[in-house]
Amino acid sequence: MIQSNFKDWTLEKIDESFGVRQVFNTTLLDDLMNYDKQLSDFEKQYIKNLQAHFILGGDDWNEVELENKFISPLIMFSSKPTELFSYFLERDLTFDIEDYHLTGRVDGMIASGFRSPKKPYFCLNEYKKGIDPTMDIANGDPRGQALISMLVAQKLNDNKFPIYGCYIIGRNWYFMILEGKEYAISNDFSCVNEEVYDIYQILKNLNVQIEKLLSL
């Protein structure tokens, strides 16, 4: 059994090792992007305030500051209290897939469980800075790290559900879906312009989609 950390993985390595492939048209990703366009004035003002803090200093925040000042407040604001699933931070995932013992810490996840995560449905991976094509593997590939955590989440759910994901590079958010052996990645959404409202609406719709999964 090969011991492997999430940080070791890129999209290409995942494709070759586990036989998954990227697709560019998927109903599940379309459903996630098909969100209600209406926001209340209160929602707009709260999001605008978060965005203003990011515009003022977000490009200079470290990862902890990015998580605590922007990402988590936006995710928590997009959800309603429920004991069915919760948003957890900095939790470990591990599973054996084929010849690999995969383990890693996920920046954020939505999972069943009230006090501790049980079955993950959404995995988030965030990076403060943009991708540097010259960076060494220790810094990792945010797309690959998100997808490998989603593969582990899929196995922890006994392959019963599609798994949602997201990775964030600086100002830009990308949403993902993994179903069976196929995954898709959305276009980017910037948090410093009007697309911040799209990000929020997608996160709201994510909770709706997870509720639908649990009702099946």
pLDDT category, 114, cuts 50, 70, 90? confident
Tokens of 36: 């209600």
Q: What are the φ and ψ backbone dihedral angles of 70, each rounded to 5 degrees?
A: -135, -55
Find out whether 182 and 194 touch, Cβ atoms under 8 Å. Answer: no
The rounded distance, in Å, linking the Cα atoms of 182 and 157 is: 16
pLDDT at position 124 over 50: yes
- How many domains, the chain? 1
Across-strand partners of 85?
A: 112
The rounded distance, in Å, linking the Cα atoms of 114 and 48 is: 30
The rounded distance, in Å, linking the Cα atoms of 171 and 13 is: 26
pLDDT at position 79 over 60: yes
Find out whether 22 and 15 touch, Cβ atoms under 8 Å. Answer: yes
Across-strand partners of 104?
A: 93
**CATH code of the domain containing 208:** 3.90.1570
Find out whether 134 and 143 touch, Cβ atoms under 8 Å. Answer: no
Segment 42-59 shows an average pLDDT of: 97
Residue range 30-40, pLDDT digits in tens: 999 998 889 99
pLDDT at position 150 over 70: yes
pLDDT value, residue 137: 42
DSSP sequence for 22-49: E-S--HHHHHHH-------HHHHHHHHH
Domain membership of residue 10 as a residue range: 2-215
